[in-house]
Amino acid sequence: MWQPNYCSKECLTYFRRLKHFHEAPFIKFIYNTASYIFFLLLFSYYLLFNFQPPTDETPSINWTEILVIIIISTMFIEDIRKVKIYLKSISNKYFVF
């Protein structure tokens, strides 16, 4: 017999556990480290093998260059977000005193 409440509670518990797993500081550190290593490997590959300055004949852009630009842009946006949070916390501390 199918019980809708049991399935929804079980699924909710599963997704809640999955959410807590991915929000754990150690897992965030592992993801951050793995993505940074991936970025370094991709950037090194691009500079060592695919670096061809554009000329008038071939102004094309390679997929590795596009991916490196996207990764650098997201890192920059993340740093801006962290600075914004830091400045907000400093201003809150200032107004408390």
Residue boundaries of the structural domains of the chain? 4-96
Q: Once rounded to an integer, what is the mean pLDDT over residues 55-62?
A: 72
Out of 8-12, 46-50, 61-65, 93-97, pick the least confident.
93-97
Beta carbons within 8 Å of 64's beta carbon, 6+ residues apart = 42, 45, 46, 50
CB 43 within 8 A of CB 66: no
Distance CA 5, CA 24 (A): 28
Residue labelled with tokens 């590795």: 64
Mean pLDDT of the chain: 82
Give the pLDDT confidence score for residue 91 in this predicted structure: 74
Percent of the chain past pLDDT 70, that is, above it, reads: 79
Higher pLDDT, 21 or 6: 21
